[in-house]
């Protein structure tokens, strides 16, 4: 009976450690996916400013209709609150709503800041300069996404290997 409990304990420890490793790999995959999504969003904002000549609230409505469900609600709320005419500055509405949206997203704070600080970086009146400002802000996302994609495969192998070895090590210590 004691051997059965040891085997069962070993299986549980290994499964737990591997589960942790798979979870961490999923977070890395989520980071790459969210970086790609933010690159698409900032690219669309840049294009809508430069070519569509739309205002930021109008761009939020366009984004709410075209981006993934995770970001759709955020942009719809920004559009609705900006149209209510309560006198709150647009950049405050934007920062608050994008901050809420990105709160639990697995990105670095500087990556989140690219989106949350976007209206503050567009103080120019001319659309071309605003579009260039958005493109510069998105440059950080592009660089980080490229690095994350390159590192993802190796990082996931290392994480899974370390989690399996940790499970084996804990099992050896407890036996």
Is the Cβ–Cβ distance between 54 and 65 less than 8 Å?
no
CA dihedral 141→146→149→150, nearest 10 degrees, is: -150
Q: What is the CA radius of gyration of the chain?
A: 22
> 120 in a domain, yes or no?
yes
> 59 in a domain, yes or no?
yes
| Domain span holding position 137 | 32-174
> Using CA atoms, how far apart are residues 116 and 102, in angstroms rounded to an integer?
9
How many domains does the chain fold into? 1
Residue-level pLDDT at 151: 81
For 110-167, the pLDDT digits (tens) are: 888 888 887 776 655 666 677 777 777 778 888 888 888 888 888 888 888 888 888 8
Q: 115-129 burial, b for 16+ CB within 10 Å, e for fewer?
A: bbbbbeebeeeebee
Residue-level pLDDT at 116: 83
> 140 in a domain, yes or no?
yes
pLDDT classification of 78: cutoffs 50, 70, 90: confident
> 18 in a domain, yes or no?
no
> 12 in a domain, yes or no?
no
């Amino acid at each position: 009976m004691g051997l059965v409990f040891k085997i069962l304990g070993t299986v549980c420890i290994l499964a737990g450690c591997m589960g942790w490793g798979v979870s961490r790999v999923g977070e890395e995959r989520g980071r790459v996916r969210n970086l790609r999504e933010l690159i698409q969003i900032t690219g669309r904002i840049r294009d809508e400013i430069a070519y569509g000549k739309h205002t930021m609230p109008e761009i939020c409505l366009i984004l709410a209709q075209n981006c993934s469900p995770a970001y759709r609600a955020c942009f719809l709320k920004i559009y609705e609150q900006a149209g209510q005419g309560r006198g709150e500055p647009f950049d405050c509405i934007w920062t608050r709503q994008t901050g809420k949206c990105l709160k639990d997203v697995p990105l670095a704070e500087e990556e989140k800041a690219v989106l949350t600080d976007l209206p503050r970086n567009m103080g120019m009146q001319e659309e071309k300069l605003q579009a260039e400002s958005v493109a510069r802000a998105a440059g950080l996302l592009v660089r980080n996404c490229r690095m994350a994609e390159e590192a993802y495969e190796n990082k996931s192998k290392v994480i899974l290997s370390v989690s399996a070895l940790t499970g084996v090590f804990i099992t050896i210590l407890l036996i």
